[in-house]
Amino acid sequence: MRLFRWLELERPTVFVLTDGSGRSGRSRVESTRAVLAATGCEAGSILGRFTDREIYRAILERDVAGVATATIELADALASGRFRTAVADAMELYNPAHDLCSVMTDLAVRRVAQTTGNEIERFAYAVVADAGEGRAIELDDDAFRRKMATAHRFEDLAVDVAELTARIGEDGLRREVFTRVDPFASLPEVPANKPYFEQRGEEQVGARRYATVLRYREHFLPFVKALTAAVT
């Protein structure tokens, strides 16, 4: 939904890592298919390949096999010659599944460069933060109405839409911004601030909803290093 107008204009092939089920266990794949149909986009070969629980388990256990296979599959698609640009979630340290999408896209772009010599332009978009600066699409009133109508069409998106508009305001959704990313950059060993996903995890463990806090240094970064070794 952060890129609704861009989807209408560019009609990209869209790859989706998880089914968006979160802790509820309710898949959002059908909502995703409906948004792609409404914007005239094509689904890629990866569409809800994993549940969110499966991704969290893989990171906690450093089990990179399935994610490595999906990353190589994404790289093969990018290497087909059909694509010049890859756009993926920004690294926000808000949700490890979204951050993993960023890492996988970087690794896929690197693999294409290494195996074919072709360079894929790499851009990121804000998932939960303010849009920031970069290449921007400014939505007119008609486009904005279509975007918000679609956002409110699906019951399983209601909580996310409400949280996002509360955080950045509806006007914050009028700009769709793309920030250029260096896909060869390394992740920091220590982030400047404690990731939100750690703070949220501590709350969930305290409430006895989760057994373990997924942490950046202990879990996410070692998983990324193992995944990098597996696909490059």
Instruction: Give whole-number Cα distances, 85 to 6, 20, 107, in Å.
Output: 13, 24, 14
Res 228: pLDDT: 98
Res 154: pLDDT: 87
Question: What is the residue extent of each domain of the chain?
Answer: 4-231
**Nearest to 75, CA basis, from 15, 3, 6, 12:** 15
Residues in CB range of 129: below 8 A, 6 or more apart: 90, 92, 94, 168
pTM for the model stands at 0.95
**Nearest to 127, CA basis, from 156, 87, 79:** 87
Which regions of the chain are under pLDDT 70? none
Fold classified for 4-231: Rossmann fold (3.40.50)
Res 25: pLDDT: 84
* DSSP-based three-state secondary structure for 87: strand
- Residue spans of alpha helices (H) in 28-140: 29-39, 52-61, 65-78, 96-116
Instruction: Give whole-number Cα distances, 111 to 79, 85, 100, 105, in Å.
Output: 9, 14, 16, 10
